[in-house]
Amino acid sequence: MSKKQTAFSTWRLLGTWMVALNFSNVSLAQTASATYPNKAIRLVVPFTPGGSADILGRTIAQELSQAWGQPVVVENVAGAGGSIGADKVAKAPADGYTLLMGHIGTLAVNPSLYPKLPYKPVKDFAPVAWVARVPNVLVVNAQLPVKSLQELVAMAKSKPGQLSYGSGGNGSAANLATEYLKMQSNISLLHIPYRGTAPAVNDLMGGQIQVLLTGAPAVMGHVKNGTLRALAVSSPKRLAALPDLPTIAESGYKNFEADQWYGVVAPAGTPRDIVMKLNQQINLALNGAELKKRLNTEGAVAMPETPEVFGNLVVQEIERWRPVITSGRVKVD
């Protein structure tokens, strides 16, 4: 695809996204928001418990519940790279009582990964709030005799295909980030896909796999207690929680960046004022010193922005990862 075609495709998606936002501004919105929320809200996390999406989803659920005095129930609906849970929300009533903790995989990667994806991220969702940017941290089993990315690359080249890395599943954000690193470093690692991040972390600690490049919140505690060793971080800048940990770019792979990101979306057609009420309350929490500190401790960066900014991010990321998936021939089962 040429640059001109890519630009046209991006702007076409942006146009569709903005139309969805405009449509969410109608349909008895003022009446709906006057009493919103007056019952429990369901926040679907499309992955198993214990991963970054689950950690952030439960954090946002707790903040909303405390602010509004209504329960915000987290429901884990895993499967197909988050597609099952996302599709469930896409087909839910557009009343603000069913939300999705979306992320780079469900909203930006899956459209290029699944030929028959049952939902369209731009058309079927209204963006609500960009919650956090989450750098991936490259970690290894503490018994593996490497203390830097350079040493890991050297070991992998001396034992091609003998070291294995885990991910939350074929086509997951961790899978793509690691494949990107493999391409940049010209190494061979055996991919072991799991049904979620938590079991991959458990097997890494147990020595069944040797490498994992995944969202910081899922591994931060294990890095700090010494059960896992961190080698590098995927973000352009170092993590505040691990200031001595170099970036992958600093470790010899210039301009490398492969962060994850997370945000809340609602079914398309959700009244605009309900979207804004959610956005403002989530942003209020994200701007709070306590939550910012908690996220920094977990290795996440709060991203309080408008629904439009978050929507634009989704569109741009769809276009960014499409050629990576195509050229890397990334497939799902």
Domain assignments of the chain as residue spans, ordered by start: 3-134+260-328, 136-233
pLDDT for position 2: 55
Quick: pLDDT tens for 107-126.
999 999 888 999 999 999 99
Give the C-alpha separation, 77 to 95, whole Å.
20
Q: How far is CA 212 from CA 79, 128, 174, 203, 292, in A?
A: 20, 31, 8, 10, 26
> Which has more confidence, 289 or 18?
289
Return the pLDDT at 126: 98
Q: How far apart are CA 190 and CA 201, in angstroms?
A: 16
Alpha-carbon gap, residue 228 to 249, rounded angstroms = 21
What is the residue whose two structure tokens read 């040493």?
151
The CATH number that domain 136-233 falls under is 3.40.190.10
3-state secondary structure of 260: strand
Interatomic CA distance for residues 12 and 5, integer angstroms: 10
Could you report the per-residue pLDDT of 257-314, keeping only the tens digit for each? 898 899 999 999 999 999 999 999 999 999 999 898 888 887 888 999 999 999 999 9
Task: List C-alpha distances in Å: 277 to 29, 37, 124, 205, 302.
Answer: 11, 10, 20, 42, 18
pTM here?
A: 0.76
The pLDDT value recorded for residue 265 is 98
**Domain 136-233 in the same topology as domain 3-134+260-328:** yes
pLDDT tens-digit series, residues 57-108: 999 999 999 999 999 999 999 988 899 999 999 999 999 999 999 999 999 9
As given in the structure block, the two tokens for residue 263 are 């945000």
Q: How far apart are the first and last CA of the chain?
A: 26
Q: What is the pLDDT of residue 328?
A: 61
What is the helix, strand, coil percentage profile of the chain, to 5?
Answer: 45, 20, 35
Cβ atoms within 10 Å of 98's Cβ, excluding its own: 20
As a whole number, mean pLDDT of residues 227-249 equals 94
Per-residue pLDDT at 13 exceeds 70: no
**Please, which pLDDT band fits residue 27 given cuts at 50, 70 and 90?**
very low
Q: Which residue has the tokens 């405009």?
A: 22
Q: What is the band of 31 on the pLDDT scale with cuts at 50, 70, 90?
A: low
Q: How far apart are CA 73 and CA 221, in angstroms?
A: 25
Is 3-134+260-328 a domain of CATH 1.20.1250.20?
Answer: no
In this predicted structure, the answer to whether residue 213 has a pLDDT above a threshold of 90 is: yes
- pLDDT at residue 38 is higher than 90: yes
Alpha helices in the chain (DSSP H): 3-23, 29-34, 52-68, 83-90, 104, 110-113, 121-124, 149-158, 173-185, 197-206, 216-224, 272-286, 289-298, 307-328
Cβ-Cβ contacts under 8 Å for 183 (sequence gap 6 or more)? 328
